[in-house]
A = this chain, B = another copy of it.
């Protein structure tokens, strides 16, 4: 592969001049410029990004470590992150943690080894020493969706409290009183928060959230299935199950179907995170929708701000309830999703 030296030889100038042309530095004669450009063309020269990064100490690359690529929510997030990054002149390297802290660490480590300019993380757990060290060492970093308390890093996320309140109000109005939740890992902020918000919202209606109605999931489908089975085996099973993410809702669907039960007749179901398929499931699923694309873009902007020396601030955007049929029908017509 042609290097800058070859271009210099071909154009009859020094490598310095070639470099200046390529980085359009002002003081290059028109003549030299055209000769260099011609040489670049004939040789099909492309600058070696590795060498450039070594010299300039910047890679113009962002690392994105997400909890699970198979989760459509994170996939959409990744897409908007890449889009915004590209618009700002950065590339993105995605690492998929599969909800495993060890894999998360593996990716953080390789990304750091590659000297990415900044790191976007949706942490799978309470924070490994590795990540904490990186943050302390001054690696530009931003948390997205989930975060780690006590670390001085901007957080970009959705606020679901209000939407959860709306959801519980909706469920209460439909006559449901025994509400259960499939929670995410307690080590994640979203895992905790959603349970808290749910409990609080129940309280507002004078309802309790007994321990038996809190199932411990891990944000993956299989755990949703297992927890739902457990709920159905209770002497007094819940009337509603609220899954803290869409994959666990999928698992719940599996469990209900395996028993030959009907939603919402035998059990109502709602989920955090709205995805396109929820419109077409049997029945369509009531969900809390996050402004995923905007979250991704805001996170990139915050990170790039940090990288380029600007403050880079936290952002919190509201989530909203999208009512469908999985919790039962109102006697009177209600707002219906248009998605």
Residues of A participating in the B interface, judged by any CB pair closer than 8 Å: 1, 44, 46-51, 53-54, 59, 69-70, 72, 75-76, 78-79, 82, 86, 91, 93-94, 96, 98, 106, 109-110, 112-115, 133, 137, 221, 250, 253-254, 257, 276-277, 279-284
Chain B residues whose C-beta falls within 8 Å of the C-beta of A277 in the assembled complex:
250, 277, 280-281
Kindly report which residue of chain B lies nearest to residue A114, judged by CB atoms: B49
In the assembled complex, the CB of A166 is this many whole angstroms from the nearest CB of chain B, namely: 25
Q: A48-B54, A86-B106 are in contact. List 11 more A-B contacts (CB 8 A).
A: A48-B113, A49-B115, A50-B50, A50-B53, A54-B54, A82-B96, A94-B94, A250-B276, A257-B279, A277-B277, A280-B281
User: In whole angstroms, how far apart are the Cα atoms of A46 and B113 in the complex?
Assistant: 7
Chain B residues lying within 8 Å of A254, measured Cβ to Cβ, are 279-280
Taking a contact as CB atoms under 8 Å apart, the answer to whether A112 and B79 are in contact is: no
Q: Report Cα–Cα, A281/B253, bound state, in Å.
A: 10
Q: Are B48 and A115 in contact (CB-based, < 8 A)?
A: yes
Q: Does A283 lie within 8 Å of B282, measured CB to CB?
A: yes
10 examples of A-B residue contacts, CB within 8 angstroms: A47-B113, A49-B113, A50-B53, A50-B54, A50-B114, A70-B72, A70-B79, A91-B93, A280-B281, A282-B283
The answer on a CB contact under 8 Å between B82 and A75 is no
Shortest Cβ gap from A113 to chain B (Å): 4
Residues of B within 8 A of A280 (CB): 250, 253-254, 257, 277, 281-282
B59 touches A50 (CB 8 A): yes
Complex Cα gap A49–B63 (Å)? 15
Closest B residue to A109 using CB positions: B46
